Amino acid sequence: YIYIYIYILVYYWDYIDAWTKMFWYQNKTNRHSWLIYFKRNVQYKFPNRNVQYKFPNWFLQWWDFCGPIEEILPTPVEEGFKVFKSMYDSQNTWIPIDLQFFSSFSLSWIFLWQFKFGKSDHPLKPPPFQRNSYAK
């Protein structure tokens, strides 16, 4: 039983690590873009709507880094988000408002990254090689 228990823990942490690192996969062009969205017609459970999210705690860290930002929303969606925020009760859930909004309405976003040379602070130093990530 001990071996099975250890294997499950390793598998669980590997799973979390894979969610974080899968977007950094190195390809020949040194850049990637990913279309990410929550599937419609999935049974979620919200308070007051017979729905309760089952997002694991580690997903919040992933969401903070790879999730969308409010600035990318088109004007009609941004106005809908303002209405959603005004009706959102943060006391009843630990889920961030943007995560609940995007998953409730199956909104998509693009997460992308590319390598780029930064600016060197000294003429004799080589410029830093940076991986920049974006959401749009």
- Mean per-residue pLDDT pooled into runs of 10, the chain (136 residues): 55 75 73 71 50 68 80 88 86 80 81 77 82 68
- Look at the chain and report how many structural domains it folds into: 1
Phi/psi at 53 (5° precision): -70, 150
Length of the chain: 136
What integer pLDDT is reported at residue 51 of this predicted model? 47
Predicted local distance difference test score (pLDDT) of residue 10: 61
pLDDT score, position 83: 92
pTM over 0.75: no
Q: What is the pLDDT of residue 53?
A: 54
C-alpha–C-alpha distance, residues 136 and 131, integer Å: 17
Provide the domain limits for residue 35: 2-135
Distance CA(25)–CA(113), nearest Å, equals: 10
- Res 81: pLDDT: 92
